[in-house]
Every structure is written in structure tokens, then in C-alpha cells.
Amino acid sequence: MLWTALVLHNLVITPLGRNVVAGFVPDGERVNRVVRKEKLELLQGTLDMLILKTLTGGPLHGYNVVDRIQQSSSDVIKVEEGSLYPALHRMERRGWIVSDWGYSENNRRAKFYRLTRAGRKQLESELWTWSRISRAISSVVNESSAITA
């Protein structure tokens, strides 16, 4: 099943068949493409980093993770359930998070996820890598704009 997303100033992470699409898109552009497996790894790592960082504040259930990421990014990043839950399950298998059943604020049973020691180490590594890549991209972008100016 292919999803087409109409996005306005958002980073969208949505299911697309068995792959995941994530990326910044210009106003009004329709996204309808499959991300190759090599790119999928980088994108999953970015989503993992966002989830791990969100869980540093304490245990949260899935909806709260999505909500916090969206709020923290001033509604720029929207994580779809079809991407969130596979990421949570993958991180749980890797030992970065653990889950326990509890009750949400509206008294519904929900699975709450929390960071493990291994998850904190992974987050530290992801943040260091992200910082390094961000600086490198900024350098290229700033150099290119200086050339065209």
C-alpha cells in the first residue's frame, strides 16, 4: 500500500509499504516515493534518536511520545503510528528501552516505554553523530551560499 502525503512545512515519517518515508518537503509537494534500504537506516537512526531523547524525561506511552516530539518541534515533525511502533519494538529488542503496562491519563491500559542504561549510551552516541553530521551539512550549505552570493 502506498501512502501519499500532502505536507506543509513538516518532516513526515509515514509508512510506505514495508519501507518508511521521512524527509523535509516543500509546501504543497506530494510525496510518493520509496526510500532505498541504505537511506532507511539513517532515517530509522534519526527516529530512534528522537524517541530516545523524548524518553529521557521519564516513561511515556506511544501517543505521548508522538505528542512530545510534535510539540518539541513546534509541529514541524510528525511521527506516524506506522513508523513509531516498529521503532519502539526494534529499540526494545535491542535493549535500549523497556516497557511496562500501565494506565494512561484517561484511564486506558497502555504500554509505557522507558530508557535503559544501554539506551542512554545509544542516545549519547546518536547525539554525537547527529551533531557532527549537522555541522558538516551546515558547512557545505554555508559554503555553497557564499559562492552564489
Alpha carbon distance 149, 37 (integer Å):
36
Alpha carbon distance 97, 120 (integer Å):
9
Q: Which three cell numbers stand for residue 2?
A: 502506498
pLDDT score at 44: 56
The pLDDT-based confidence of 147 (bands split at 50, 70, 90) is low
First to last CA, the chain: 44
For 50, counting Cβ atoms within 10 Å of its Cβ (0-12 exposed, 13-18 middle, 19+ buried), the class is buried
The pLDDT-based confidence of 75 (bands split at 50, 70, 90) is confident
**Domain boundaries in the chain?**
36-148
pLDDT score at 149: 56
Q: Which residue has the higher pLDDT, 92 or 10?
A: 92
Q: Which three cell numbers stand for residue 35?
A: 526510500
Mean pLDDT across the stretch 121-145? 89
pLDDT score at 56: 97
Residues of the chain above pLDDT 90, percent: 53
pLDDT tens per residue, range 5-56: 333 334 455 444 444 445 444 444 444 444 444 444 445 579 999 999 999 9
pLDDT score at 78: 86
Mean pLDDT across the stretch 81-103? 95
Q: Rounded to 5 degrees, what angle do the CA atoms 88, 91, 1 make?
A: 50
The CATH code belonging to domain 36-148 is: 1.10.10.10
Nearby residues of 75 by Cβ (< 8 Å), 6 or more positions away: 10
pLDDT score at 76: 84
Q: Which three cell numbers stand for residue 148?
A: 552564489
Residues of the chain above pLDDT 70, percent: 66
Q: Which three cell numbers stand for residue 137?
A: 551539512
Mean pLDDT across the stretch 90-105? 96
